[in-house]
Structure 1
Amino acid sequence: MSRDRPSQPWLYRKLTPDGRQSLHRRLLSFLLVPLMLMLLIESLVTYTGALVYSNHVHDSDLADSVVTLAEMLSKQDMGDQISPQARFLLEFDPQGHNYFSVSSDKRGLLAGTSELRPPASLTLTVDTAPRLYDLVIDRRPVRAATARIPSSHDPGDELTLTIAETLHDRHERAKEILLLSIPAQAMLIAGVFALVWYGVRIGLRVLDPLTERLATREHDLAPIGDADVPVEILPLTRTIDGLFARLRGMLALQDRFIADAAHQLRTPLAGLRVHLERAQSDPTPATVHDAFEHIGRLTHRASRTSTQLLALTRAQSPEHESRVPDLIDLNRVVPEMLSLRVHEALAAGVDLGYDGCDKPAWIDGDRNTLQEMLDNLIDNALRYAGRRSIVTVTVDQLDHRPRLTIEDNGPGVPPEFLARLGERFFRVPGSGEEGTGLGLAIVQRIAERHAAQVFFLRGNEGGLRVEIVFPGARTERRER
């Protein structure tokens, strides 16, 4: 079955025979294309330079031909006429056609073609050197050279001599020069590519010490470090170090959970065994009934402890860091959460109430963990405030920051123990109620996940007051 591959340009998909990407081949591919472009650009530059040189040589020859024709007409008494042999030599071109003209100021065109007329802007005198210009004859571009000489037949007359040639030979000479230079350029490019190939192959060996160092590891998640890491792959190794740090945190969290579970469940499990052995050794109804009551309480304690441990582990897990927070209005969701606990409050003889504010209290958070945090705060209040107590949940603003407050009028917590309420497994001495000591620790961890601050204070009526101050939601998300 074929495996789908990412849709990337061919230049990026340099694969080894087993289908893996090759950094070596990819680097060579990135270098080969520029080198081929350099060869093409160098060929164009060479051809342009050769054409300029060819034009210069042919222009010089063309001017010399005009001078030679002028000398021939001035030194020989030919009546300003050109012999058939001279005409053939002037017009002959094996790859194209040459043109010439001899015209008199008085008698007009004497020989050649009439189309070789110098442009009006070109001023010629007898004493000036031949002048060159471009024109088109029979739809073919030509290069012409022209000069003026006195007529040997009529001293009062002057002749205009013009010789023109097509550009074919000029381009042929430029092509010959280009063809001569391409092999040398190709050999140079091939040599450079070979050096690059060798350099890339040798250069990648700098990764060998790092590879060997990592290969010797088994369960070591220590940072790789920057000692023998090339600068180019530092971002990769630092990303791996970040992954190692998260893995260490998760493993530490797992180890802590196992240690906490072993510590907290050891007592109820030991009690279960004691009461089970007691019921087995004395099967009288009274003993068995009493043992089952103790077993029921211990089972409930073990169940609650394991639930709280799992909740604390979830609150500490880095999994929540990657979640995109929701936009939550505390003034709307907190009453909905409280409504789920009213029946428990009534059963416990506690007056559970809510006091909201007039405007929304927006935060960035996770509704599920907020529900868990509020549940733990209510559980703590219902457990320790006592019957006929009043528990009030308030949502308001503190310096434009949303604040959630839970206050009861129970016996409260001595001031010297308030600072320790968020610690794991801490229970206020003499409270008289069974508990795991994890509820407020869970509240502390969930608040930290929301970048909120938790304050444990003495209430206005002597009970416990817990304030959680959240940072406000981002403005752009609130306006959306």
Structure 2
Amino acid sequence: MPTTKTSLRQQLLLWLLLPQLVYCLAGAVLFFTVTLFYANRVIDTRLVETAESLARLSQTHHADIQRLAPMVVQQTDHRFYAISQQSGNVLHGSPDFKNTAAPYLAEINSRAEPLLFDAVLNAKQFRIAALRATTANAEPILIQVAFDLDQRNRYAKQILISTALPLALLIIITCLLVWWGIGRGLRPLAQLQSLMELRKAQDLSPLSLQDAPRELQGLSSALNHLLSGTEESINRQRRFIADAAHQLRTPLAGLKSQTELAMRESSPEGLRERLNMVHTSATRSIHLVNQLLTLARSEPGSQTGIPKVQMDLAKIIRDLTAELVPRALAARIDLGCDCFVPTAMMHGNSALLREMFINLVENAIKYIPRDGSITVRLTEDAHNYIVDVEDNGLGIPDEDKARVFERFYRREQTGNGCGLGMSIVKEIVERHAGTVELLDAQPHGLIVHVVLPKTELPA
């Protein structure tokens, strides 16, 4: 079963909202921690100030301390105090704090300032400031001022709630804004999807997106480039099919007429002559079909060719020249090969390159006068291998050199050619990122000049 993938909208929401949620929660925790820290600091400061005030009051107004102490402490349901003797007897204040400072007496007696500590009394947690002091008659006493931390915790909860509610509202507003922004940002993608869904398969015209962002313009340009290449490939195939149909129609019609005439012949001599003509027509048709198949395979958009591999161009040229020598001798042509490069390794399609050189040599054999000569020459420069197929024929006028590479163009209507040989050569050379041109030979003749780039061998 195909796996369900999350949408781009969901991914954007996740990566945009998740960090913001983390930041908001972290901010709330930090704000609560800092607030609690300063609240504890305020409580400790007030406790110390109150304990010191009670110590001064004990020294100056000892007789009135029972009346004045509650006012100094501002005793409420969460503020308490106790003034005790060294024996632990509580003289004034809450008797519940009789023994709370017992574990800390040694430290309290050694300090001049109040000691702050936490204590649990009656299942409640208190923050206590304890101070050793003396009365007006030099009697040592222990002063304790306590604050009920349950009240602080209630304050902390209120602070947390008052902080969390605005943050929750902020998160909700942020989610809505991000959702709206992502939807608006992805709207051009929806437009592109709509354009593609409504477009017919035959419509390969460029896409037009108005006010599209830069990233989508890049995608649109890539799609337009793909559509343009596809349209060019389809048009090339259509032209090829039209040209092939046009070129095949004539020889096949002639072949059919020859067979009909042969069927009417009654004499053996006439029948043999008609059959010879049928054989000639069939040979031309086979040659045309082979050339068309080679042309289709050599086109840059074709995927049916043999993959490119490392190969020796010099060996291919030497072997092909040797194979074509018997045919050249039969046509009274002197065919030779000059390989000035012993080994020419390159990355290419050996089958197509063989077909290219066969076309070049066969064209020369076909169109130069008898007793002529053809030389296949291989040289190199810093970046390229150069192949020249030179003959001493009549050559080609400059105005016709460019047209020679057009499909089905024939300068002469004689012979069995179909006008595809040089088109095949051009397609194969271009498929190997090379160039081909026609040059004049001296004193007369033609040079087909092919340049093929070298390729680095793998380490």
Q: TM-score range by the shorter chain?
A: 0.7 to 0.9
1:55 pairs with one of 25, 40, 43? 40
Three-state SS of the structure 2 residue aligned to 1:227 is coil
1:159 Cα offset (Å): 9.9
2:441 pairs with one of 459, 468, 471? 459
Identify if the C-alpha distance between structure 1 residues 294 and 85 changes in structure 2 by more than 3 Å, giving closer, same or farther.
farther
The amino acid across from 1:30 in the alignment is W
Alignment of 1:340-379 (within 5 A): 341-342=324-325, 344-345=327-328, 348-358=331-341, 360-379=343-362
> Within the alignment, does 1:114 sit opposite 2:144 as a pair?
no
Alignment of 1:41-440 (within 5 A): 41-74=26-59, 75-76=61-62, 83-84=89-90, 91=97, 99=101, 112-116=104-108, 152-154=136-138, 174=156, 177-201=159-183, 204-206=186-188, 210-218=192-200, 219-227=202-210, 229-319=212-302, 326-338=309-321, 341-342=324-325, 344-345=327-328, 348-358=331-341, 360-385=343-368, 388-398=371-381, 400-429=383-412, 432-440=414-422
Q: C-alpha separation between the residues in 2 aligned to 1:79 and 1:169?
A: 25
The amino acid across from 2:377 in the alignment is T
Name the Cα RMSD after superposition: 4.2
Match of 2:71 in 1: none
2:254 touches 2:281 (CA, 8 Å); kept in 1? yes
Identify if the C-alpha distance between structure 1 residues 479 and 262 changes in structure 2 by more than 3 Å, giving closer, same or farther.
closer
Number of corresponding residues: 431
The amino acid across from 1:76 in the alignment is H
Q: C-alpha separation between the residues in 1 aligned to 2:247 and 2:458?
A: 47
Match of 2:72 in 1: none
Gaps of 5+ in 1: 7-12, 15-21, 102-111, 125-129, 136-141
| Identity value in percent | 31
User: Structure 1-normalised TM-score?
Assistant: 0.73
Identify if the C-alpha distance between structure 1 residues 268 and 180 changes in structure 2 by more than 3 Å, giving closer, same or farther.
same
The amino acid across from 1:84 in the alignment is V
1:268 Cα offset (Å): 0.7
The amino acid across from 1:35 in the alignment is Q
1:62 touches 1:145 (CA, 8 Å); kept in 2? yes
Q: C-alpha separation between the residues in 2 aligned to 1:382 and 1:251?
A: 35
1:446 pairs with one of 428, 450, 456? 428
Q: Please give the per-residue CA displacement for 1:384-414, whole angstroms capped at 9, x wherever unaligned.
A: 3455544322221246532112223344434
The amino acid across from 1:315 in the alignment is S
Identify if the C-alpha distance between structure 1 residues 154 and 26 changes in structure 2 by more than 3 Å, giving closer, same or farther.
closer
1:248 Cα offset (Å): 0.4
Match of 2:12 in 1: 27
1:401 touches 1:470 (CA, 8 Å); kept in 2? yes
1:100 touches 1:161 (CA, 8 Å); kept in 2? no
Q: C-alpha separation between the residues in 1 aligned to 2:204 and 2:170?
A: 49
Q: C-alpha separation between the residues in 1 aligned to 2:157 and 2:319?
A: 87
Q: C-alpha separation between the residues in 2 aligned to 1:117 and 1:343?
A: 125
Task: Name whichever of 339-348 and 181-190 sits farther off.
Answer: 339-348
Identify if the C-alpha distance between structure 1 residues 54 and 365 changes in structure 2 by more than 3 Å, giving closer, same or farther.
farther
Q: C-alpha separation between the residues in 1 aligned to 2:305 and 2:173?
A: 51
2:438 touches 2:447 (CA, 8 Å); kept in 1? yes
1:269 Cα offset (Å): 1.8
1:100 touches 1:164 (CA, 8 Å); kept in 2? no
2:84 touches 2:142 (CA, 8 Å); kept in 1? no
1:224 Cα offset (Å): 0.4
Match of 2:454 in 1: 472
